[in-house]
């Protein structure tokens, strides 16, 4: 009888051990599922990144204006001088030729060049209807994104270099 009771007690103890192992396995299983879910979510978030190139395109447009010989850049003979605006080239024809806007992409550009004393040299726009939407930029539900910047530049006026300010506004439709 004593052996029988010892066997039952042993069996009972083994049952307790198996029950504890099952509980530990269940806790480990839940922990593993949570960790794997977090890893998958982090991985999916890292993969699902949209790169917004709109601001890069706007800045590229701005710097092309006075850093390209095809735009307003100044050339002294065969030498191109980046950052200096040639006043003979600062006109609407050159501005329109400077940008090749893709079909379906609505972009407007406004330029105002003036001397440091405030005397206006020139004011030009591409896509006036898009530029007119600049008052809506910055609104919470705006359909346009704007880049407004002011650049201090040199202008070649009759062979003399003079200091000037170039105010630039780039307005893009948000798609």
Distance CA 148, CA 170 (A): 6
pTM of the prediction?
A: 0.62
What's residue 49's pLDDT?
A: 67
Q: What is the pLDDT along the chain (175 residues), one digit of tens a residue?
A: 455 444 444 445 555 556 667 777 888 888 999 999 999 888 887 776 666 666 677 677 777 777 777 788 888 778 888 778 888 888 888 887 777 665 556 778 888 999 999 899 999 888 887 777 777 776 666 677 778 888 888 898 887 889 999 998 888 777 6
pLDDT of residue 145: 75
CA separation for the pair 112, 158 (Å, rounded): 20
Distance, CA of 39 to CA of 48 (rounded, Å): 14
List pLDDT tens digits, range 115-126.
Answer: 999 899 999 888
User: What is residue 53's predicted lDDT score, i.e. its pLDDT?
Assistant: 67
Instruction: Sort residue 106 into left (φ over 0), alpha (ψ -120 to 50) or beta.
Output: beta
- For residues 97 and 109, what is the distance between their CA atoms, to the nearest angstrom? 13
């Amino acid at each position: 009888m004593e052996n029988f009771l010892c066997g039952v007690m042993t069996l009972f103890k083994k049952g307790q051990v198996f029950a504890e192992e099952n509980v530990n396995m269940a806790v480990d299983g839940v922990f593993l599922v949570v960790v794997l879910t977090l890893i998958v979510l982090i991985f999916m978030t890292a993969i699902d990144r949209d790169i917004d190139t709109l601001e890069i395109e706007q800045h590229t447009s701005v710097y092309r204006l006075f850093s390209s010989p095809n735009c307003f850049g100044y050339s002294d003979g065969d030498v191109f001088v980046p950052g200096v605006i040639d006043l003979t080239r600062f006109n609407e024809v050159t501005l329109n030729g400077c940008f090749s806007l893709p079909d379906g992409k609505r972009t407007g550009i406004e330029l105002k060049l003036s001397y440091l004393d405030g005397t206006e040299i020139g004011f030009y726009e591409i896509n006036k209807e898009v530029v007119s939407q600049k008052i809506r930029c910055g609104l919470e539900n705006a359909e346009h994104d704007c880049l407004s910047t002011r650049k201090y530049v040199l202008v070649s006026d009759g062979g003399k270099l003079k200091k000037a300010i170039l105010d630039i506004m780039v307005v893009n439709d948000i798609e």
